[in-house]
Amino acid sequence: MALPSLNRSFVTSKTINNNSIKSFNKGVAPALSGAMSMAKKTYDIYFENDTMSNNKGFRESAEYCKDYIRTYNGTNESYFADYKGGTVDVVCNETEEVVYSEEVL
């Protein structure tokens, strides 16, 4: 019994022409790059005073972190008791940018 022949076509580097590469660079590559830059940023809460610093380890939205500060600043919750008179900051995990800061009450 003879096996049927398989008709396969292989793509080699010779079959990719400059137009294909240019098309990729103009269309797909920028779209992928844009998607990466629009990835959701996450934020953490940092506490600091003259002698020490700590962070919560959050990977949340900036608004979540601000709400956490509004809810617990002035209480003895978490690090707020230890950092009275210091600062509490919302910091971007990806860029380390401080997006919000206030005194710990």
Residue 92 inside a domain? The answer is yes
Q: Give CA–CA dist 15/80, Å, rounded.
A: 64
Range of the domain at 61: 43-103
How many DSSP H helices and E strands does the chain contain? 3, 4
Residue 23 inside a domain? The answer is no
In terms of pLDDT, which residue wins out, 30 or 78?
Answer: 78
Residue with tokens 């910091």: 91
Residue 37 inside a domain? The answer is no
Residue 4 inside a domain? The answer is no
| pLDDT at residue 61, as a whole number | 98
What number is the average pLDDT over the span 77-89?
Answer: 97
- What total number of domains does the chain contain? 1
Residue 11 inside a domain? The answer is no
Mean pLDDT of the chain, nearest integer: 81
Residue 69 inside a domain? The answer is yes
Residue 59 has pLDDT above 80, yes or no: yes
